[in-house]
Structures are given as C-alpha cells and as structure tokens.
Amino acid sequence: MGDLTRRSLLTGSVASAAAIGLPAAATAAPSTAPAGSSARPTTRADVVVVGAGLAGLTAARRLVAHGHSVVVLEARDRVGGRTLNHPIAKGKIAEAGGEFVGPTQDRIVALAREVGITTFDAYDSGNDVYQRGSIRLLYSDTSATGTAPPDPTLLVDIVKLSQQIDQMATTIPIEKPWTAPDAAAWDEQTLATWVRANAVNADGILELLAPFTEALIGAEPEDVSLFAVVAYVAAAGDAKNVGTFERLFNVRNGAQQSRLVGGSQLVSQRVAAALGHRVRLGSPVRRIARTAHGVQVESDRLTVIGRRVVVAVPPVLAAQIQYDPLLPVRRDQLVQRLPMGSLRKVEAIYATPFWRAAGLTGQFLTTGGPVGYSFDNSPPDGKPGVLAGFVGGAQNLKWSRHSPAELRAAVLAQYARLFQDDRFLKPEGFFEHDWSSERWSRGGPTYTPGPGTLTALGPALRAPVGHLHWAGTETSDYWIGYMDGAVRSGERVAAEVHASL
Amino acid sequence: MGDLTRRSLLTGSVASAAAIGLPAAATAAPSTAPAGSSARPTTRADVVVVGAGLAGLTAARRLVAHGHSVVVLEARDRVGGRTLNHPIAKGKIAEAGGEFVGPTQDRIVALAREVGITTFDAYDSGNDVYQRGSIRLLYSDTSATGTAPPDPTLLVDIVKLSQQIDQMATTIPIEKPWTAPDAAAWDEQTLATWVRANAVNADGILELLAPFTEALIGAEPEDVSLFAVVAYVAAAGDAKNVGTFERLFNVRNGAQQSRLVGGSQLVSQRVAAALGHRVRLGSPVRRIARTAHGVQVESDRLTVIGRRVVVAVPPVLAAQIQYDPLLPVRRDQLVQRLPMGSLRKVEAIYATPFWRAAGLTGQFLTTGGPVGYSFDNSPPDGKPGVLAGFVGGAQNLKWSRHSPAELRAAVLAQYARLFQDDRFLKPEGFFEHDWSSERWSRGGPTYTPGPGTLTALGPALRAPVGHLHWAGTETSDYWIGYMDGAVRSGERVAAEVHASL
C-alpha cells in the first residue's frame, strides 16, 4: 500500500482537517483485505466514490461527516475535475476550467466558505465589444438594452427570442423537466430549427447564436435539443428564482459575476486535503461489479469492496466503465446519448490589464472565431493582466487541426483587431487548455443532449441502480453544467446514500 | 497459451480452410514474445483486428490471403457480431440478429458463396396486414400502391414523402455524403421536424413512421438527423443503383428479399473456422497504444504487438477503448455522438407456418407496439413455423421495464389480434433477443446519428489515425447498417492496410 499512500499526496494549499470542520482523516477504510486475483490491493469502505471533482468530493465530505468510511477513486493525478488552476506567475494562477460563480449559486459559495475561500467580483467596468461582419459596436451592460448587444439588424429578434426562452423556462418542473407540458414538442427539434421558425432574421441570429452556444455548452445550435436548452436555462436559478437566459450569460447579476480567491480548483484541493488519504489519485475505475452485499469497484491501482458506490463523473465517462451485471437498458442508452461539448480556453498574459484604462471590460462577443467570447481573467489585484477566451464547438473542432502556434497567432490577432490595440499582439505569456483533449473529461463544459434524449431517458440520469448512485453536475436539479450543480449533486447523492445505509 | 487455444475453438459448422480458398491456418502469428508486465501472454502479428463480426473477419480473411499474419481479438465467446443463430429445433435455427440480403448487396452474397452458403427467398406470398387505430387493412405488395400500405388518410403523404426522400438521396455523394449541397440544412433538423414541415397529416405520418424507424434503426423520427436518414437511404444501393426508401424497406426487390441457408451467423463461423486460431475469443480489447513501429493491442487474455490495427466494432464500442496517445479530438467527439439504436427481436415458434394457408405473408405493420413490424422467419422448409417481430426504439425502452413473460403475452396477443387467429396465442416456443442488453453491441441494428454530427465530424468515421484503421458497417459507403456494409468495410480496410504495409 506504500505506493498508494504516496499517490494520495495532494498538490495545492492544504488546510488542516480540523480547521475546516471535518473529523481528522485517519485510515481511509476500516480494514484492508489481501490482494485479489487481479494482484491489485483491495480495501473496504462503506462508500466508494468514483471521481474527485466537486461532485464526488462534496459527496465524500458529507458522507464522512455522517460517520461513513469512504474511499474516493480519481483517475487523474489531481483533484478538481473540470476546474484547474494554471500557474502564471509566482503565487499567481489563472483558471483553465470552470471558474465563475453568481447569484443563486449558493451551494458552491457555501462550500468554498467552509474551506476558507472567499469570492471577488469579476472585472466588469467599461464597455464590451461586439462584432459581426462589418458591424463593430462598443456597448455597456448598464445601457438601455442591457446585456443584449445593440446590433440594429438583430436586436428585435434577440429581445423577443430571449423573452420567449425565458417564458418557456417557467413551464419546466425542475425536478422532472421531461414532464413539462411541451416537452415532447420541444425535444423533437433542435435549437436551430426553433430559431428558423421564430426569428425574423434567422440566418443572422444563428450566426450570433453560435459563439453563445460555443462558449456556454461547447456546441452549435443545430447540435442540441430545444428542450434541453430550455431545461438548461430553467436550471439557472434556485427554488425562489426561476432561471433566465440573461442570468446564464451575464456578468452583472449573472453566472459570471464573481470568482474564487485562489482559483476554483482550490476548493477541491482543500476538501480533498481534509479527506486525506481517503482520496486515491491515478486510479481510473474500470469495472463495478455487484456483490452479495454491495459492490466491488476496480481501479488500476486499488480494488475497493463497498456497500454503495457513487459514480460522480460525466455521463460519457460513466459509459466507459464495465458494469457487472449490465446496467438497465434505459441507463445504458442514455449515457450513449450525452456527448460532451468541445471547449478550449485560451489565455493571454500581459504585465497589466491595460485595456481597463481604455474603458474596456475585456469582454467581446464576435462571430467567425476562433474566440467567440472573451473576458478579463486577471487575478484579484490585476497583476498580471489576463485576457481569456472560449474556443468552442465547431470553432474548436476546426482549430484542433491547427498547431498551437497558429491558434495563438489567430487569437492574438483577433484580440488586437476587436479591441483596436496592437499591444494585445505581444503577451508575456499564453496558454490554452483543450478539455476535449483531456482523457478524463473528453470535452467540456458539460453534456449536449440532442433531440429525443431527455424526454425518453432523462429519469435514468440520477435514478439509483441497486447500490449504484449517480452524481455530477449533469445530474443536478439547479445549475446543470456549473460548479454549483456539481456541489448540489454531491449533496443530494450523499443524502440519498446516507438514507440507504 | 493452452487456455487461449482452447478458447479459440469455434462453434457451428466448420469447413476446411482449403475448401474455401484460404491458406491452411498455421500458427496465428510468426512469433510469440514473453508475457509483459501485465502478466498477459504477448504475441506478434502484422495486423491486429479488433472484433470478429463480418467486418473484422472479412478484413482478416483478405489480409491473410495477401500473406499478412493476423490476430483477431473478439470480446465475445462467439464470432458473428450482430448476427446470431438461435437453435429452435434439432438442426434448425432462427436468426436473432441481422439476417436478410437483397439486390445490390453483392458483397455479403459473394462472401457467403465463397464459404459455401447459398440464399433462399424470404417467404412473401399473400397479404400483409396494416393496422393503425381503427383502421385494419389487408394488402399485397403486388397491388397498385405497391408496398405503401393503402391507408386512405395517409397514402398521399406516404407516396409524396418517400418520393421526396428518394429525390434527396440522389444528391448524396456516397463517398462523402457530408458534401451534398443541402447537407447542412438537412443536418440541422430531425426527421420529425422535416415531416412536420412537409406532410399534410403530420401527426398521422409520425405515428406510422415510428414503427418504420423502430424496425429499421431502433430509434424514433425525433432522434435522428434528417441528413443522416437521407444518407442512409442513399447508401441502400450500389454504384449503378442509387438507394431508395422502398429498397430499404421491401421484401420483394428489397433488403429483405433473401436469406442465407443455415443462418447468417454461419458466414462468420465459416470464415472464422478458416482463420483457425488466428481468432481469439473472450478477449475484449481494453487499450491500444502506439509503439515505435506500430501498435500494442491489449485484451483481457492476450496482448498483441502489431504493425497495424483494424478496429472493426461499432463506434460506441470503439469509444470504450483507451487509446494512447489520445485520438484526435474530432474522432473522439464523433464516437461520443453515434449511439446505437435500441432493438429487440421476438420470435414465436409454431409446428407449421399455418398463416401461409390463410393467404398471409406473416408481415404486419402496426402502430402502438410492442412489435411494429413482423415477418415469417421460418427455415427454408417451413418446419417449424417462425413468426418474428421487431420491438425497437421507444417501444423497446418501454418494454425493457416489463418482464419477459409480460412481453411474450403482449406480443402473442398482438399477433392473434392483427392476424385474427387465436392459434398465435399458443406457440411451441418463444424467444427474444435484446441487442441493447448485449454488452458487446450496446444496441442495434446500427448507429443513430443526431443532428449536427455527420456534417461536422463524418470524415473521421473512416480516416485512419496513424497505424489505426476503422471498419464496421457504420464506416461503409454502401449499405451502412447492413451485413453487406460490414463486408464492404472489411474489404475496404483490408485494401487500405495492405497498401500501407
């Protein structure tokens, strides 16, 4: 077991378990058994958690607090799943994955606070830039049209369609979206089909919608079910505040309003540190088998005999695990139909966020790529300046065939052109992170259900199968696809498992 | 290696290698290496083939004929993939998987002949039964309306829409369907969306279309891209005969015209017998790694070091294998987006095909399920009588929650009601085969691409990646989803690999 213990050392800041309200981590499990025929070490635990992202770690933390023994098996050599702190300067990081929090995302904020992490406002002072074809506009999200870019050829459609989507979202029962009155009709068509039927300038709206959906879900309007989009919008809230399209996309009062001091991955690192060597890194789970009284979970490094298992990975990764016996047909058919979007983050680093002095927020929205949406991703003190952008969906598929140098040049040229400032061409640093090239994510930021999937198979998303329970942001009621949804799913599954033990 | 040799014994009739035109199978590979650190035996071959269905076996057969050493790794304890002979009486079988061949499916027929297997006509004399709501009709496919059921409320739409689809299919370049002039517009919508826009009685057509698509692709009209359907229809032909909707669905002059004497799985069994212990059963492939000069293919029982690997399994299974290094983003994103349909075959066995004397073909088409389409699946001599049916798509998902006894009762009641003959209620035997519950198929009969997938990512279906080559019916030009497509893909990949060696 020596090697395993060594693997469980965590990187990043480590708070003491006592300081953040958990019992001190003793041994991960009450007993260890001799290695099985597979020659892998075997241990025991009440609950085996697959995946040390925010969902799995939240579940583990809560189950430990309930007094259960827990082992968390993580495929990667790090925790945090789709959050990742990328070092950019001494003691400074920029986030390469999920990072924002906002109103109604109370659960991620509460978890962060529990481990001593506070929030700060995302930079949002000044003008945004909008560009489509020959149109280039500066606009402020405090202006009359709000966050809608005041493109004269599209504004009427933008206002009308987003109001329609918001109205549709109000009809979604959050716990069971597939029971909405119009679920079948909406799930029969793509978002693109709906735009064609409802927009005056459909070609223009689809052109603009592409960078929206590319940044939001790593996909194109023709890839996703209208119903899935409406349900996703409806989920952007809480029991008192129904989700809206604006809350999803906005900085001010929206899902991009705040950031976490120290970076979003720090939350997972602190939770994992408190869990101690309950968390086993480098341990991809290959097989989950039913036993007489529970489950046997086999990873590359360790086999765990448990009473329950929580699978807290994206559906597409859950689909790679071998289950004995097979899962019910509906569950297996579902996870075949929930591909991940394709998303890459690019970040240029400058000595200072010089665009602020020019009255720019650093945000642009543009068609044609590679970046569709950019934003100021500098540390709280603005040193250094970081200008980040999303390359998603078809843009990311296109740029996956180009070299990193070509992408970098194209992105910087885009920054300089859109902000009309050649200083963007010469960053001090530049990095990119393509979540589609991550073996243990296979895309990002979340799933992209096509038509026919959620209405037919949605209930299998989180229905337990015997001793198998499901977590992960895709199984959340609120804030599907967000850090907050991941935490919520971890809380829900912990309660579910605890009640069953 | 003793255990491995034992596993490679094949069931079914075995013809001598010499008799069917292959060099006698000697050892599988020119040399064997000591077991690696994984403690699995290791061997070497020019080409490693993953999957012993018709595609993989065809590829292996051709590569061996070219003089290359080949090892075929098959996950199951049998060969034949989505073909499966089910014993029903002494020396008699009924097919539980793919079984029909028809005009322009020359490659499967040629392969069958090479291994001494002939065809016979599927039974098709008399009347078909059509039922929808309160409408029940007998009709003959030799009547004026041809194979279109003469439902007075739908006939005009059926004729118009199938003509439209056929016309659209003529615009598809078979080698690169995604370059069709209207590919983007068609791939932006589902088949259901197109019906709503083009049918007079859209609700009626969608109701009738469901049993069609359930039987044909195990999915619903809202699940699939219009473009994918048009491309699928276009593929139902050959270089001289463009595919048509009728050829896909018909018995007479269609894809269900003929059957193989001895059952369709016998083709694979004979090809595998000739390949001898080149074929290793019970060997699911878990990992494919690049080496300095080729590939290392790791299965549960055997690791093979090869110069090339041919992955000849459905995309959803190819997506479960771990690749080192990772596959290109476009390939990985593609295989996340090609779920299998859901399909079950049910077969009732009677002493004789008594319906023939009543002037019935045994074929019905009906809405409401469980079976949508039935047919006479008796052996060539009509002893015993077998009445088979497809339970597909939403129907199969629904019935996956019922017991086998409930399904059996519902199917037999349906047979008796539709054919108005209570003898159907008391079969001598009954079996069902749910391809969605097969670990090494995960559904059937083939893939079901949603909108946005094939136009964005189609070229990655068969583009080799370094020393990795792709086969399987989904990678075929003609007859995608059929046995003929599987054979064609095996022939294509064998030529591709041979040319590269």
Per-residue pLDDT of A57-103, as tens digits, reads: 999 999 999 999 999 999 999 999 999 999 999 999 999 999 999 99
Q: Percent of chain A beyond pLDDT 90? A: 88
For chain A, give the percent of residues with pLDDT over 70.
92
Q: What is the pLDDT of residues B396-451, one digit of tens each?
A: 999 999 999 999 999 999 999 999 999 999 999 999 999 999 999 999 999 999 99
Asked whether the predicted pLDDT for residue A450 surpasses 50, the reply is yes
Alpha-carbon dihedral sign for residues B456, B458, B460, B463: negative
Q: How far is CA B315 from the centre of its chain?
A: 13
Q: What is the mean pLDDT of residues B237-263?
A: 92
Check whether B473 has a pLDDT greater than 70: yes
Q: Is B450 in Cβ contact with A223 (below 8 Å)?
A: yes
| Alpha carbon separation from B490 to B59, B61, B474 (Å, rounded) | 4, 9, 11
Residue A435: DSSP 8-state: G
Is residue B129 within 8 angstroms of chain A, CB to CB? no
| A189 contacts in chain B (CB < 8 Å) | 189-190, 192-193, 222
Q: Name the minimum distance, in Å, from the CA of A337 to any CA of chain B.
A: 6
- What pLDDT score does B6 carry? 35
Rg over CA atoms, chain B? 22
Does the beta-carbon distance from A326 to B437 stay under 8 Å?
Answer: yes
Put simply, whether B127 touches A (Cβ < 8 Å) is no
Which residues, in sequence order, are CB contacts of A368 under 8 Å at separation 6+?
none
DSSP states along B46-115: EEEEE--SHHHHHHHHHHHHTT--EEEE-SSSSS-TT--EEEEETTEEEESS---B-TT-HHHHHHHHHT
Strand ranges, E, within B437-491: 468-470
Q: Give yes or no for residue A21 having a pLDDT over 80.
A: no
pLDDT at B24 over 80: no
DSSP state of B358: T
**Domains of chain B and CATH, by start:** 2-82+264-327+465-500 (3.50.50.60), 123-152+342-443 (3.90.660.10), 153-249 (1.10.405.10)
Q: How far apart are CA A315 and CA A454, in angstroms?
A: 13
From residue B355, alpha-carbon distances to A138, B163, B360, B379, B416 in Å are: 76, 33, 5, 15, 11
**Residues of B in Cβ contact (< 8 Å) with A437:** 326, 329
Helices (H), B250-357: 265-275, 315-318, 329-336
Residue B127, classed as helix, strand or coil, is: strand
Which residues are within 8 A (CB) of A144 and not within 5 positions of it... i.e. 6 or more apart? none
Cis peptide bond N-terminal to B384, omega within 30: yes
- Cα angle B169, B220, B245 (rounded to 5 degrees) comes to 25
CB contact at 8 A, B375 and B464: no
Q: What is the distance in angstroms between the Cα of B251 and the nearest Cα belonging to chain A?
A: 30
Q: Does position B144 have pLDDT exceeding 80, yes or no?
A: no
Residues present in chain A in total: 501
Q: For residues B412 and A274, give the distance between their C-alpha atoms in angstroms, rounded to a whole number.
A: 60
Question: What digits encode the pLDDT tens for the residues B149-171?
Answer: 889 999 999 999 999 999 999 99
Residue A452 has a pLDDT of 98
Contact between B231 and B475 under an 8 Å Cβ cutoff? The reply is no
pLDDT surpassing 80 at residue B9: no
Query: CA A226, CA A194: separation in Å to the nearest integer?
Result: 7
pLDDT in tens, B160-202: 999 999 999 999 999 999 999 999 999 999 999 999 999 999 9
> What residues of chain B lie within 8 A of the CB of A193, using their CB?
188-190, 193
What is the reported pTM?
0.93
With both helix axes pointing from N to C terminus, report the angle between A202-217 and A155-169 in degrees, rounded to the nearest 10.
50
**Mean confidence (pLDDT) of chain B:** 92
pLDDT of residue B145: 67
Q: Are B47 and B309 in contact (CB under 8 A)?
A: yes
Count of residues making up chain B: 501
Q: For residue B330, give the chain A residue with the closest CA.
A: A397
Strands B42-50 and B32-33, sheet pairing: antiparallel
Query: Shortest Cα distance from B246 to chain A (angstroms)?
Result: 25
**What CA–CA distance (Å, rounded) separates B198 from B160?**
9
**To which residue do tokens 């902000």 refer?**
A419
- Does A213 lie at the interface with B, CB-CB under 8 angstroms? no
User: Which residue of A lies nearest to B316 if distances are taken between CA atoms?
Assistant: A336
Alpha helices in B281-354 (DSSP H): 315-318, 329-336
Q: What would the two tokens of residue A215 be?
A: 């940044």
Confidence at residue A214, expressed as pLDDT on a 0 to 100 scale: 98
Residue A187, strand partner residues: none
DSSP bridge pairs for A431: A347
- A187 at B interface, C-beta within 8 A: yes
Q: How far apart are CA B419 and CA A266, in angstroms?
A: 67
Q: Check residues B23 and A413 and name the one with the higher pLDDT.
A: A413
| Strand segments (E) across B155-203 | none
pLDDT per residue over A381-440, tens digit each?
Answer: 999 999 999 999 999 999 999 999 999 999 999 999 999 999 999 999 999 999 999 999
How do residues A203-232 score in pLDDT, each as one tens digit?
999 999 999 999 999 999 999 999 999 999
Tens of pLDDT, residues B282-326: 999 999 999 999 999 999 999 999 999 999 999 999 999 999 999
Rounded to the nearest 5°, which phi and psi values hold at A389? -150, 155
Tokens of B281: 């059963």
- At A23 the pLDDT is 54
Nearest to B449 by CA among B205, B203, B254, B188: B188
Nearest CA in chain A to B444: A333
Give residues 403 to 442 of A whose Cβ lies within 8 Å of B: 434, 436-437, 439, 442
CB B326 within 8 A of CB B319: no
Query: Nearest by CB to A222, which of B434, B451, B457?
Result: B451
Task: Tell whether A298 lies on the interface with B, counting CB pairs under 8 A.
Answer: no
Give me the amino acid identity at B298. E
Indicate the residue type of A171: T
Q: Compute the distance between CA of residue B317 and CA of residue B322 in angstroms, rounded to an integer.
A: 11
What's the mean per-residue pLDDT of chain A?
Answer: 92
Helices assigned H by DSSP within A235-363: 245-249, 265-275, 315-318, 329-336
| B-interface mutation test, from A326, A336, A434, most B Cβ less than 10 A away | A336
CA dist A238 and A393 (Å) reads 28
Q: At what angle do helices A265-275 and A54-65 cross, to 10 degrees?
A: 30
Four-residue CA torsion sign, B247, B248, B250, B255: positive
Would you state the torsion angle of the CA atoms of residues A468, A470, A471, A474, taken in this order, to the nearest 10 degrees? 170
Backbone dihedral region of A292: left (phi > 0), alpha (psi from -120 to 50 degrees) or beta? Answer: alpha
Any idea of the CA torsion for B332, B334, B339, B341, to the nearest 10 degrees? -140
For helices B54-65 and B106-114, the axis angle rounded to 10 degrees is 60
| Residue in B222, B397, B456 nearest the CB of A187 | B222
3-state secondary structure of A100: strand
For residue B5, count CB atoms less than 10 angstroms from its CB and return exposed for 0-12, middle for 13-18, buried for 19 or more: exposed
The answer to whether the Cβ–Cβ distance between B442 and A189 falls below 8 Å is no
Q: How far is CA B312 from the centre of its chain?
A: 13
Q: Using 50, 70 and 90 to split pLDDT, how confident is the model at B22?
A: low
**Nearest CA distance, B222 vs chain A (angstrom):** 5
Confidence (pLDDT) at A145:
67
What pLDDT is stored for residue A20 in this prediction?
A: 54
Helix (H/G/I), strand (E/B), else coil: A189:
coil
Q: What are the tens digits of pLDDT across the range A467-496?
A: 999 999 999 999 999 999 999 999 999 999
Which class for A262: exposed (0-12), middle (13-18), buried (19 or more C-beta within 10 A)? buried
Q: Is the pLDDT at B389 greater than 50, yes or no? A: yes
Q: CA nearest A484: which of A14, A119, A89, A116?
A: A119
Which has the closest alpha carbon to A331: A447, A460, A449, A464?
A460
Which residues in chain A have their CB less than 8 angstroms from residue B189's CB? 189-190, 192-193, 222
Confidence bin at B95 (pLDDT 50/70/90): very high
Does the pLDDT value for residue A132 go beyond 70?
yes
CA distance B179 to B173: 7
Under the banding of pLDDT at 50, 70 and 90, the label for residue B471 is very high
Place of tokens 């003491």: A16
